[in-house]
């Protein structure tokens, strides 16, 4: 009997001419109500931990974002159509965008749950990216302020690297739908097209600098030549810093890097073939601390699978906005959850009892000799002297702890 019904159904489908449905009633009100009951009601179906895992952030932070977008961005405000029926709610649009970033899947994956078509989901993501950059970009993509810099110096001192304010490296994001005309420009060797992200990260995984958009054929040095990472120093906007290492005074902060970066005063690499206990201990500590930026890349990709999976976008500008949005959201999550991290104890240095002499002052004048500052940044002599002093400093602070 069942087989006969299936055969009749197949015959009816084959004999009838298919008709295109111009409109599908998705019952978007049901989608909003279901979303509200599952996560935002007084007694939600799913717990706080499940919300944190699926939305990649705490509920309070997500609601803060929803409130700002709903109040200040017209696209995310719920409106009535010509029939007097409410459109998609702010929660539905923001949830769709966050799910797209978090899982990196096709636009129609959430159609059955959030009740919105794939084209609308893509539009939500694009408007969400622009809104996040507009509302939160200035605060969460900022350069370190005087207070930020002082805290970074305190953390660096506690970890044995006086004057260090972070680690720098590059990450590649695969571009699946790279235009054929650009493919050779963005492809290195026999690999796939990629776009490069240069970033500076601190121990708490905050990304202080992000530079995205260069083709994947460039290595870290080529990216550095085009990067604005030292613009504030060159233009005299960076705070003045003074610190001592091994009784030698220095006036320029530095980043920890891997071996590809040049021997500049602003970069400190590990020792490739360490000889002796002091060099071994320095290489061990440097390679350990330098992993901050690698951890930041890993957390960024695990939080937002869209930057881990090959990007399906065609427009390079939209790809850049998505990456900036993920970095901003990443920093917002770091700020929201920083109190739960186990970081270095900097209380000794914050109370003024440190042997380090570091004073952070804001520059009063921007009339600077850019060529002279550029030469100071790239001074190999200062690099060698600072590295030797750091070897002694690390050994003095950590060399005898294992004995």
Per-residue pLDDT tens over the stretch 23-32: 777 788 888 8
| 80 and 212 together in one domain | no
Cα–Cα distance for residue pair 231/70, rounded to 1 Å: 36
The confidence score (pLDDT) of residue 313 equals 86
Give yes or no for a contact between 147 and 155, defined as CB atoms under 8 angstroms apart. no
Residue 186 shares a structural domain with residue 265: yes
Please indicate, yes or no, whether residues 343 and 370 belong to a single structural domain of this protein: yes
Together in a domain, 268 and 126: no
Look at residue 346 in the predicted model and tell me its pLDDT. 52
Number of domains in the chain: 2
Position 103 scores a pLDDT of 93
The pLDDT-based confidence of 353 (bands split at 50, 70, 90) is very low
Whether 318 is covered by a domain: the verdict is yes
Among 7, 88, 86, 104, smallest CA distance to 312 is for 104
* CA 318 from centre of chain: 16
Mean pLDDT, all residues of the chain: 87
Q: What angle do CA 158, 289, 265 make, to 5 degrees?
A: 85
Same-domain status, 123 and 159: no
Predicted confidence at residue 350, as pLDDT, reads 52
Residue 269 has pLDDT above 70, yes or no: yes
Domain boundary among 87, 110, 139: 139
Structure tokens at 347: 């209380």
Residue at which a domain ends, from 139, 154, 188: 139
- 268 within a domain of the structure (yes/no): yes
Residues with Cβ within 8 Å of residue 263, at least 6 apart in sequence: 269, 380, 383, 384
> What are the b/e assignments for 76-112, b being 16+ CB within 10 Å?
beeeeeeeeeeebbbbbbbbbbbbbbbbbeebebbbe
- C-alpha–C-alpha distance, residues 99 and 106, integer Å: 10
In a domain, 14, yes or no: no
- Mean pLDDT (whole number) for 213-218: 93
Q: Is residue 10 part of a domain?
A: no
Same domain? For 158 and 91 the reply is no
Claim to verify: residue 314 and residue 288 sit in the same structural domain: yes
Query: Are 131 and 47 within one domain?
Result: yes
* Domain carrying residue 182: 146-398
pLDDT tops 60 at residue 362: no
Note whether residue 19 is domain-resident.
no
Query: For residue 357, what pLDDT band results from cuts at 50, 70 and 90?
Result: very low
Residues 154 and 260 in one domain: yes
Question: Could you tell me if 176 and 227 lie in one domain?
Answer: yes
pLDDT given at position 21: 61
- Weakest-pLDDT range from 110-114, 211-215, 323-327: 110-114
Same domain, 115 and 244: no
CA atoms of 212 and 316, how far apart (whole Å): 10
Same domain, 103 and 232: no
Work out the percent of the chain whose per-residue pLDDT is above 90: 62
Domain contains 2: no
> Is pLDDT larger for residue 106 or for residue 315?
315
Spell out the residues 6+ positions from residue 337 whose beta carbon is closer than 8 angstroms to its own. Answer: 58
The encoded tokens of residue 277 equal 């206990």
Give me the pLDDT at residue 109, please. Answer: 87
Contact 194, 188 (CB under 8 A): yes
The answer to the question of residue 11 being in a domain is no
Nearest CA-CA partner of 384 in 291, 276, 248, 290: 248
Q: What is the pLDDT of residues 143-198, one digit of tens each?
A: 998 889 999 999 999 999 999 999 999 999 999 999 999 999 999 887 899 999 99
- Let me know if residue 284 belongs to a domain: yes
Residue 314: both structure tokens together: 């065609």
The confidence band for 228, taking pLDDT boundaries of 50, 70 and 90, is very high
Who's near 331: CB < 8 A, 6+ residues apart?
140, 141, 206, 207
Which of 139, 162, 179 finishes a domain?
139
103 in the Ramachandran plot: left (φ > 0), alpha (ψ -120 to 50) or beta?
A: alpha
Average pLDDT, integer, range 294-299: 95
């Amino acid at each position: 009997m069942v087989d006969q019904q299936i055969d009749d159904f197949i015959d009816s489908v084959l004999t009838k001419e298919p008709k295109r449905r111009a409109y599908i009633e998705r019952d978007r009100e049901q989608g909003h109500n279901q979303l509200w009951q599952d996560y935002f009601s007084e007694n939600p179906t799913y717990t706080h931990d499940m919300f944190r895992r699926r939305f990649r952030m705490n509920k309070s932070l997500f609601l803060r974002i929803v409130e700002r977008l709903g109040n200040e961005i017209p696209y995310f405000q719920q409106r009535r159509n010509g029939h007097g029926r409410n459109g998609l709610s702010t929660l539905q649009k923001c949830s769709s965008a966050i799910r797209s970033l978090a899982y990196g899947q096709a636009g129609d994956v959430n159609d059955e749950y959030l009740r919105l078509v794939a084209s609308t989901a893509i539009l939500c993501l694009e408007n969400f990216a622009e809104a996040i950059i507009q509302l939160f970009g200035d605060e969460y993509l900022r350069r370190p302020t005087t207070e930020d810099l002082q805290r970074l110096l305190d953390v660096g001192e506690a970890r044995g690297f006086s004057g260090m304010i972070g680690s720098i490296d590059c990450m590649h994001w695969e571009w699946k739908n790279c235009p054929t005309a650009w493919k050779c420009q963005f492809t290195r060797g026999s690999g796939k097209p990629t776009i490069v992200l240069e970033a500076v990260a601190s121990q708490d995984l905050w990304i202080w600098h992000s530079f995205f958009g260069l083709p994947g054929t460039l290595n870290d040095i080529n990216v550095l030549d085009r990067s604005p990472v030292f613009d504030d120093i060159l233009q005299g906007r960076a705070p003045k810093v003074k610190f001592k290492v091994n009784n030698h005074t220095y006036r320029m902060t530095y980043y920890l890097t891997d071996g590809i970066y040049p021997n500049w005063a602003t970069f400190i690499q590990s020792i490739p073939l360490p000889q002796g206990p002091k060099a071994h201990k320095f290489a061990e500590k440097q390679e350990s601390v330098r992993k901050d930026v690698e951890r930041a890349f890993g957390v960024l990709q695990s939080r937002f699978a869209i930057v881990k999976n090959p990007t399906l976008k065609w427009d390079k500008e939209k790809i850049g906005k998505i990456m900036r949005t993920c970095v901003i959201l990443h920093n917002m999550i770091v700020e929201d959850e920083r109190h739960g991290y186990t970081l270095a104890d900097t209380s000794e240095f914050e109370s003024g009892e440190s042997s380090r002499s570091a004073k952070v002052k804001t520059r009063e004048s921007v009339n600077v000799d850019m060529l002279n500052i550029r030469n100071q940044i790239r001074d190999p002599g200062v690099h060698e002297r600072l590295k030797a002093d750091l070897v002694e400093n690390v050994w003095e602070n950590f060399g005898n702890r294992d004995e």
